[in-house]
């Protein structure tokens, strides 16, 4: 029975404390947004986020497409500078063929001038000659040994260059063809 009295006494105290607490003011409940208002605000925020996402996605797609176009243009016109440097060489050769009675001296002078133009075009295009000197050590990354010949120099050194090689910047275009000492 004592337990029941304790429970009853506790319940009476709880009721009294509830009665002492002031009721929520009417203004506070009116200021709190209703569930419908909260839902509408959340839906508006969702719509704004979806719109921002779609705009960001479209901008990313446009940037990707622009990058692909830039790469395609770079590939298409990569040799434009080199081609511009070669056009005067072709013009010089065509002019030389138009001369009706060329002399040996004029032909030689024209060929030398054209070779100078071509060398300038090669420099502009970073096309470098690979012409090893006699006695230089064979470099398989730049030279191709065609044959080995007996020579009075160290083994695996270059005896003669049969054909120059070429590099574009640091990339081998064609190795130099050489004969090597046995």
Q: What CATH number is given to the structural domain containing 150?
A: 2.30.22.10
Q: List, for residues 30-81, the tens digit of each pLDDT value.
A: 567 899 999 999 999 999 999 999 999 999 999 999 999 999 988 888 888 8
How many structural domains does the chain have? 1
Is residue 82 in some structural domain? no
Please report whether residue 48 resides in a domain.
Answer: no
Residues in the chain: 182
For residue 70, the model assigns a pLDDT of 92
DSSP three-state, residue 105: helix
Enter the DSSP assignment of 176: E
C-alpha separations of 131 from 20, 60, 94, 95, 165 in Å: 105, 49, 29, 31, 6
- 108 located within any domain: no
85 sits in which H/E element: helix 80-98
Asked if residue 145 belongs to a domain, the reply is yes
The boundaries of the domain holding residue 131 are 126-182
Q: Residue 49: its pLDDT value, please? A: 96
Is 1 among the domain residues? no
pLDDT digits (tens, 9 = 90+) for 126-176: 899 999 999 899 999 999 999 999 988 999 999 999 999 999 988 999 999
Is 163 inside any structural domain? Answer: yes
In this prediction, residue 102 carries a pLDDT of: 85
pLDDT score recorded for residue 131 = 93
Asked whether residue 23 is domain-assigned, the answer is: no
Q: b or e along 54-71 (b: 16 or more beta carbons within 10 Å of the residue's beta carbon)?
A: eeeeeeeeeeeeeeeeee
């Amino acid at each position: 029975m004592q337990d029941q009295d304790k429970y009853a006494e506790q319940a009476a105290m709880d009721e009294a404390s509830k009665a002492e607490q002031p009721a929520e003011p009417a203004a506070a409940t009116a200021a709190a947004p209703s569930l419908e208002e909260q839902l509408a605000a959340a839906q508006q925020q969702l719509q704004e986020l979806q719109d921002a996402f779609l705009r960001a996605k479209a901008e990313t797609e446009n940037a990707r497409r622009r990058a692909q176009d830039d790469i395609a243009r770079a590939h298409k016109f990569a040799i434009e500078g080199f081609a511009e440097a070669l056009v005067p060489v072709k013009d010089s050769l065509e002019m030389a063929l138009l001369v009706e009675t060329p002399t040996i001296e004029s032909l030689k002078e024209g060929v030398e001038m054209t070779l100078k133009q071509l060398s300038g075009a090669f420099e502009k295009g970073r096309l470098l000659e690979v012409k090893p000197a006699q006695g230089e050590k064979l470099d398989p990354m730049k030279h191709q040994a065609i044959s080995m010949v007996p020579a009075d120099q160290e083994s695996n050194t270059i005896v003669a260059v049969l054909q120059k090689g070429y590099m574009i910047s640091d990339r081998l275009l064609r190795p130099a063809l050489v004969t090597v000492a046995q």
